[in-house]
Amino acid sequence: MNLREAKFSVIDLETTGLNLLKDEILSIAIVPMKGTKIMAGESYYTFVKPSNYDLKSMKFHGIDPKTLKQAPSFSEISEEVRERIEDSIIVGHAVEIDLNFLKKAFKAQGIELNNKSIDIALLEKWLCDRLGERKCTADLSLDALIRDYNLSMRFRHDALADAFLTAQIFQIQLLKLMKYGLTSVERVLSAIESTKMSRIDFIF
């Protein structure tokens, strides 16, 4: 499929932690893209009530526990989220972690998620390798990418802001890819796959 025709869902999650076994999703942001176009007006952002987490101990997230108490549980929103990301390629920064949390949450609802995914950090690494400008590990953090792409924003990031900024980075990456003659989704996915092989753990 041509990149310009492809449907992407740029996502960002906030979770109680990084342990897939015990941590839970607290918010989900989805910014849809059609080709290079970011459909900002159709963005989706919701808080999610965790099922067995002690709300009092979570002040550090900057999310008001009251907001979470009133938020829908994942089962209540799973259908809407599934519809939004259906038939799209999931895009995110270090997207594997977010994707695993989503898969686990959907699995609990009896839904299997099999979307393809693109990690903008891996894509950036691939682009940099191609440009001969190999980057060090720290350079691929979201904050560094936001800076490198001149997208600096002065306010505190929430999941929606991060998803939007991720989309803006991905948009410029798409332009670069097309300049290199990579116009099909399949080729981009396999390019990223090749990067994964040689990857070192750069995210943390």
Partner 1 sequence: MTSPPKEFMRRIKPFSFLTEDELNLLVDNLDVEAYEKGSTIVKKGKQSKYIFLVFSGVVGLYDDDTLVDTASKGEIFGILSAITGNPFSLSAIAMDDTICYRIKKEAFNKVFEKNPKFSAFFSTFINRRFRSFTNLLKETEGAFQEEIYLTRVKEIVTKDPVVCEPNTSIEEAARIMLEKNVGSIVVVDQGKAVGILTDHDLKRVLISGDKNAKVTEFMNSPVITVNADQPVFEAYLTLINKGINYIVVVDNGRVEGVITSKDILTQFEPSSSLIALYRKIRKANSMDELKSHLAGIRKAVAGLAMKGVHFYELSRMITSVYDSTVVRVIKMVEEDFKKDGITLPDYVWIHVGSSGRKEQIIATDQDNCLIRSADEDEKLMIEFAKKVNEALDYIGIPKCTANYMASNPKWNLSLEDWKANFEKWFTSLTGENIRYLSVFLDMRPIYGDQKLYLALLDHIKSNITNQAIRFLALDATSIEPPIGFFGIKGLEKGLDIKLHGIYPIANGVRVLALDNKILDTTNTRERLERLSEMGVLSDERAREVLESYEFLQELRLKRQSAAVSAGSEGDNVIRLENIDRIDAYVLKEALKIVSSFQNFIRGKYRIESGF
* Contacting residues toward partner 1, per CB under 8 A: 36-41, 43, 45, 150-151, 153-155, 158, 160-161, 164-165, 167-168, 171-172, 174-175, 178-179
Tokens in use for 22? 């015990």
**Distance in Å, CB of 136 to partner 1, minimum:** 25
**Distance in Å, CB of 63 to partner 1, minimum:** 12
Q: Using the minimum distance from each CB to partner 1, give the nearer residue, 41 or 110.
A: 41
Q: Using the minimum distance from each CB to partner 1, give the nearer residue, 113 or 162.
A: 162
Q: Using the minimum distance from each CB to partner 1, give the nearer residue, 43 or 141.
A: 43
Report how far residue 107's alpha carbon sits from residue 35's, in angstroms, rounded to the nearest whole number: 29
The residues, ordered by sequence, that sit 6+ positions from 150 with a Cβ below 8 Å of its Cβ are none
**Distance in Å, CB of 113 to partner 1, minimum:** 26
Report how far residue 204's alpha carbon sits from residue 196's, in angstroms, rounded to the nearest whole number: 16
Enter the DSSP assignment of 200.
-
Q: Using the minimum distance from each CB to partner 1, give the nearer residue, 155 or 204.
A: 155
**Distance in Å, CB of 141 to partner 1, minimum:** 18
The residues, ordered by sequence, that sit 6+ positions from 195 with a Cβ below 8 Å of its Cβ are 122, 123, 125, 126, 129
Q: Using the minimum distance from each CB to partner 1, give the nearer residue, 137 or 183.
A: 183
CA separation (Å) from 17 to 22, 54, 166, 187, 204? 8, 13, 21, 34, 14
**Distance in Å, CB of 48 to partner 1, minimum:** 16
Report how far residue 154's alpha carbon sits from residue 104's, in angstroms, rounded to the nearest whole number: 34
- Give percent helix, percent strand, percent coil of the chain, each to the nearest 5: 50, 15, 35
**Distance in Å, CB of 80 to partner 1, minimum:** 17
Q: Using the minimum distance from each CB to partner 1, give the nearer residue, 108 or 175.
A: 175
